[in-house]
Amino acid sequence: MFSSAMKINKLLNFVIGVNIFLFIGFIAIITWASFMPEQSFSVEKGIGHWSLSFDFSNSASFSALVPFSILQPISETIFSAKTAFLTFYISLGFIYFPLFIYGLLIVQEIVISTIKEESPFNNINAQRIKKIAYLLIGYSLFSDLLINFFMYVFVTNIFLLNISNVSFNGFVIGAVMLLIAHIFRYGSFLQQEHDETI
Amino acid sequence: MAIIIRLDRVLAEKKMKLNQLASIIGISNVNLSNLKTGKVKAIRFSTLEAICKTLDCQPGDIIEYVEDKDVENR
């Protein structure tokens, strides 16, 4: 158990490092894109998605598929491709990366406490799992709705919040995590009973 | 608690030290000390059996029921 927890801790360190690196890279690209002229950005309407592209050279581009539920299928002449691209990526990046990195840090705290105390069952870990569950529920319920809202404020100025932006799968996974937190609290009680029995 | 551990008394009668008993029955000094001072919640039958076998006594010599009032008066 100890050696596998050590391996998981190393893997988590690597994943957190990669994510922080990606987040910094993401901020650099967005900052760079914000200084580029409007002609570098293009927008194309598909069947269910918008394709927003940022061409940073003749042969390389950076693009995003944005569903109609987030950016309404209105005429592409009404809004600016650059504003849509930047709004989508800034809101997505600043919602996704901090939450994901914070979630990974909580998982790492659980692994470190398992290494130190030789058992994952304690009340603090139950609270940590509860935090992850609330993060998941919050992310699945509000992340796409928030991006949808920012698109309304900064891009289209046409208010239309789409309920299909709420991810019920994420909500269910969050609820299961809450259940696991409860199981951990019971496990912590059993662990204490076991520790106080000789 | 209404259950009193009399391990120190039995150890004194048998002229045995706590660490000697701990090494014979195969549990740590800390755990046995916790048992002696009543800091544990439960004792396994296997531990009790090992203690009784080593000290040549009965479980009743080691654990004793005393009503709570008596415990408070002590």
Read off φ and ψ for residue A49, nearest 5 degrees.
-135, 160
Check CB contact of A31 with chain B, cutoff 8 Å: no
Contact A197 B44 (CB under 8 A): yes
Q: Domains along chain B?
A: 3-69 (1.10.260.40)
Would A50 be classed as within a structural domain? no
Q: Is A99 helix (H, G, I), strand (E, B) or coil?
A: helix
Give A197 to chain B, closest Cα distance, Å.
5
- Residue-wise pLDDT for A173-198, tens only, equals 999 999 999 999 999 999 888 888 98
The domain in which residue A19 lies consists of: 2-40+81-195
Domain-located, residue A161:
yes
Q: What are phi and psi of A54, to 5 degrees?
A: -125, 110
- Compute the distance between CA of residue B15 and CA of residue B10 in angstroms, rounded to an integer: 8
Which of B39, B41, B46, B47 to substitute to test the interface with A, most A CBs within 10 Å?
B41
Q: Could you please report the per-residue DSSP string of B50-71?
A: HHHHHHT--HHHHEEE--HHHH
Give the residue-averaged pLDDT of A45-66. 86
Mean pLDDT of chain A: 89
E strand or H helix that includes residue A111: helix A81-117
Is the Cβ of B40 closer than 8 Å to some Cβ of chain A? yes
Is A177 part of any domain?
Answer: yes
Parallel, antiparallel or unpaired: strands B3-5 and A49-55: unpaired
The yes/no answer to whether this complex scores an ipTM above 0.85 is no
A65 located within any domain? no
Number of structural domains in chain A: 1
Strand order, beta sheet including A61-67: A41-45, A49-55, A61-67
Whole-number pLDDT of residue B54:
93
| Nearest partner of A155 among A95, A94, A80, A96, judged by Cα | A80
Residues in chain B within 8 Å Cβ distance of A197: 40-44
- In this predicted structure, what is the pLDDT of residue A73? 87
Tell me what pLDDT residue A76 has: 82
In angstroms, the CA A169 to CA A175 distance is 10
* Cβ of residue B44 closer than 8 Å to a chain A Cβ: yes
E-assigned strands of A17-165?
41-45, 49-55, 61-67
List all residues of chain A from 169 to 198 with a beta carbon under 8 Å from chain B.
193, 196-198
Whether A37 and chain B come into contact, CB under 8 Å, resolves to no
pLDDT tens digits, one per residue of B27-58: 899 989 989 888 888 999 999 999 999 999 99
Q: Is the pLDDT of residue A1 over 70?
A: no
3-state helix, strand, coil in chain B (%, to 5): 60, 10, 30
- Kindly list the residues from chain A whose CB atom is less than 8 angstroms away from the CB atom of residue B39: 196
B47: which chain A residues are within 8 Å (Cβ-Cβ)?
Answer: 198
In whole angstroms, what is the distance from residue A37 CA to residue A15 CA? 35
Question: Is A62 a member of any domain?
Answer: no
Looking at beta carbons, which residues of chain A come within 8 Å of B3? none
Cβ pair A141, A167 in contact under 8 A: yes
Distance from CA of A187 to the nearest CA of B (A): 17
Q: Is the pLDDT score of A21 beyond 80?
A: yes
